Amino acid sequence: MKGTRNTADDTGAGPSTSTTQDRRPRRGRAVVRALEGWAAAFRLKLNAGELGSLPVVLVLVAVWVVFQILNENFLSPRNLSNLSVDIVGTGLIAVGVVFVLLIGQIDLSVGSISGLAAALFAVLNVNNGVPEWLALIIAVVSGTAVGTIQGFSFARTRVPAFVVTLAGLLTWNGLMLYILGTSGTINLDENGLVAKLTSYYFTNDAAAYGLAAVGAGLVFIASYQDRRRRKAVGMPHRSLREIGVRTGGLAVVAFVAAFVLNRFQGLPLAFLIFLVAVAGLDVVLRRTRYGRQVYALGGGVEAARRASLRVVRVQTAVLAVSGTMAAIGGLFLASRITSVSQASGGGVLLLNAIAAAVIGGTSLFGGRGTTWSAVLGILVIESVASGMAITDTPVAVQFMITGGVLFAAVVIDSLSRRTQEAHGRA
C-alpha cells in the first residue's frame, strides 16, 4: 500500500464526502480509498510499492456484478451465505499454501494430505468407533506429521519442495486409498462434530454483529496503540483521521457482511473458524520472529543463512504448517458433503488452493503475500464456481474463466516484481 505512514494528511476525500453527485472521479477515488484502507489495515509495510490487493478486489467486484446481472439471485443472502461456507475448506488449504509460497517453494501434496486426513478420520470414527474428538486430533496431527516429514526431507536434501511434494502427492494419495480399502464411500454422522463444522450457524444476530464489532475494534486498538508509541518516541505515525478512515472502512465491510449473513441463517461456524485462523496466522507471519524468518527465506535463503537463521528448521516448519492446514481443510471439505470417498482430495482441489493464494496476490517468487490473499483468492474462485452453477453454465467454461483469472494474477505478479526491480535499479 502506498504512502501509509508518512503521508498523514493526503486524504482529501473520506467516505463521507463521497455523496456529492457531480464529482464522480472524486467519488470513485473515495471508494477505492476505502477499499485500499480496508486491505491495508492488514498489510505490512513490506508491500510498499506494490499494487497490493487492489486488482483482486476489482476482479471480485466485477465477477459479482456480472453474475448479479446474469442472475438476480447471485447476491442473495442465501447464496452469499453458502459462499462463505464453501470457501472455507479450500481456503484453509490455500492459507497453508501461502506459507510455502512465501519461502519461494510450492507444495503439491496438499490435496492428497487433505484427502488422507479426511479418510483417516472417517475410518477411525465411522468404521472403528474411535471418538470423534480423538479421530479429529489424529487426522490433524497426521497432516502435521506428513508435512514435517516432507519439509525435513526437502530442507535437508535441498531437493526442491516441488519434487518432494510431487512424490508426496502420489504417496499420500496411495496411502489414503489403502486406508479406505474396499469401503469406497464412507458417510459421516450427520449430527457429529465434523458435520457440524459446516452445518452449524449462530442464529442469534448478535454473533455476526459482535464479530464485526470485535474485529474492527481490535484493529482500531492495535493501530491506536501503535500510533501512541510512535508518537511518544517521535517517530512518523499515522494521523488519527487515517486510522479512523481505515477502521471505518473495515467496519463498514464487516457490518455489511454480518447483515447479509444474518438475513439468511446467521454467522456460519465454518466462516468464523476460517476468519480466526486467517487472522491468527496473519499475526504469526507479520508479528512474530518465526514469521519474519519465513519472509526472509523468500527474500534469499543464502542471506537468511548468513543472518544466522536456522534454515532447515524454518523450512520444515513451513511445510508442517501447510500439511496441518491441508488436513484441517480436508476435514471441512468432508464435513461439507458429510462423506469421504476415494475422490476426496483429488480433482481440482490442489490447483484451486494454489490458484487462490496466487490470485489473492501472494507471489510465486517468494517473499511477498499475506494470509488474507488466500481469502480474496478463494472468494474469486468460489464466486465464479457458484455463479456458474447458478446460471447453469457448463463446468468447462468455469475452468476457462478461473484459468484466465489465474493467468492474469500471475502476469500481474511478475510485472509488479519487474517494476519494483527496475525501480530499485533506477
Q: Which of 40, 32, 39 is nearest to 14 (CA)?
A: 32
**3-state SS, residue 159:** coil
Binding mask 178-217 for another protein (x = CB under 8 A): ----------------------------------------
222 binds another protein, rule: CB under 8 A: no
- CB 35, min distance to another protein, A: 22
List alpha helices for 71-131, DSSP H.
Answer: 77-102, 110-122
Residues that contact another protein, how many (by CB under 8 A)? 38
- CB 366, min distance to another protein, A: 8
304 binds another protein, rule: CB under 8 A: yes
Describe the chain by its helix, strand, coil percentages, rounded to 5: 75, 0, 25
423 binds another protein, rule: CB under 8 A: yes
**3-state SS, residue 171:** helix
Longest Cα separation, the chain? 69
The one among 288, 343, 400, 404 contacting another protein by CB under 8 A? 288
**3-state SS, residue 233:** coil
8 binds another protein, rule: CB under 8 A: no
98 binds another protein, rule: CB under 8 A: no
313 binds another protein, rule: CB under 8 A: no
Contact, 133 vs 193, CB < 8 A?
yes
The one among 51, 149, 252, 309 contacting another protein by CB under 8 A? 309
Q: Cα separation of 12 and 17, whole Å? A: 9
- CB 162, min distance to another protein, A: 20
CB closer to another protein out of 51 and 145: 51
Contact, 33 vs 248, CB < 8 A?
no
CB closer to another protein out of 25 and 424: 424
- CB 105, min distance to another protein, A: 15
The three cell numbers locating residue 76: 442473495
292 binds another protein, rule: CB under 8 A: yes
The one among 31, 76, 226, 263 contacting another protein by CB under 8 A? 226
List alpha helices for 300-338, DSSP H.
Answer: 301-306, 311-337
Residues 6+ apart with CB under 8 A from 58: none
Name which of residues 329 to 388 contact another protein (CB under 8 A).
Answer: 366-368
Q: Which of 173, 148, 144 is nearest to 161 (CA)?
A: 148
Which residues of this chain interact with another protein, rule CB under 8 A?
Answer: 5-6, 45-46, 48-49, 226, 229-230, 233, 235, 283, 286-289, 292-293, 295-296, 298-300, 302-309, 366-368, 420-421, 423-424
